[in-house]
């Protein structure tokens, strides 16, 4: 059984899903890979302690603070490659960005496209900062939750990017 709760954020309504042990995801309604394979019949619309901690983390983040993501237990999900990429994302400090190629070097993968695919399937929107990954061109690049959401998050963190 999974617990689901919604959180109204400055980028839109976020769907939070957790078990009794871990956070399974944070998705913007309508984004690519929404609820990542979790079936509706497995969900109960109520809170639990992990969802309460997630809401508190999001509140602090959207107020411009830099809460530690280490306080939230993340579910063990994804392929071994995805887990490597997502771990590398967690190492990007707030207020900084990395390119897909830089992430690839960290995990010993020469394919920026493979890295980009894994970044796009990150189930923990905002918490695991996939928005901090930019193309080497300096442009904003793609984002599973949409370009407007990515622009907002980068601006909130003071990260510069080519606006064209």
- How do strand 43-45 and strand 2-9 relate by DSSP bridges? parallel
58 lies in the same domain as 86: no
15 lies in the same domain as 48: yes
Averages of pLDDT over runs of 10 residues in the chain (164 residues) are: 96 96 94 83 93 97 92 93 96 94 95 93 95 88 90 93 66
The CATH number linked to 28 is: 3.30.160
φ/ψ of residue 96, rounded to 5: -125, 165
52 lies in the same domain as 114: no
Q: What DSSP string describes 66-119?
A: ---GGGSPBP--S-HHHHHHHHHHHTSPTT--EEHHHHHHHTT---HHHHHHHH
Structural domain of 12: 2-63
Q: What are the residue numbers of the active site?
A: 130
Q: What is the pLDDT of residue 164?
A: 52
The CATH number linked to 139 is: 1.10.10.10
Tell me, yes or no, whether 16 lies in a domain.
yes
Q: How many domains does the chain have?
A: 2
Q: What is the pLDDT of residue 105?
A: 96
Q: What is the pLDDT of residue 139?
A: 82
96 lies in the same domain as 146: yes
Q: Which residue's entry shows tokens 């411009």?
A: 64
């Amino acid at each position: 059984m999974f617990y689901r709760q919604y959180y109204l954020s400055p980028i839109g309504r976020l769907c939070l899903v957790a078990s009794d042990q871990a956070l399974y995801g944070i998705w913007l309604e309508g984004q690519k890979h929404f609820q990542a394979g979790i079936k509706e019949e497995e969900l109960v619309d109520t809170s639990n302690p992990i969802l309460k901690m997630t809401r508190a983390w999001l509140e602090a983040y959207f107020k411009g603070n830099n809460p530690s993501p280490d306080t939230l237990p993340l579910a063990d999900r994804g392929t071994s490659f995805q887990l490597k990429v997502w771990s590398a994302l967690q190492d990007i400090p707030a207020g900084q960005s990395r390119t897909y190629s830089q992430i690839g070097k960290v995990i010993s993968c020469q394919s920026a496209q493979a890295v980009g695919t894994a970044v796009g399937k990150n189930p923990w929107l905002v918490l695991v900062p996939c928005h901090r990954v930019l193309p080497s061109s300096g442009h904003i690049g793609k984002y599973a939750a949409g370009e407007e959401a990515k622009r907002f998050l980068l601006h909130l963190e003071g990260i510069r990017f080519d606006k064209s």
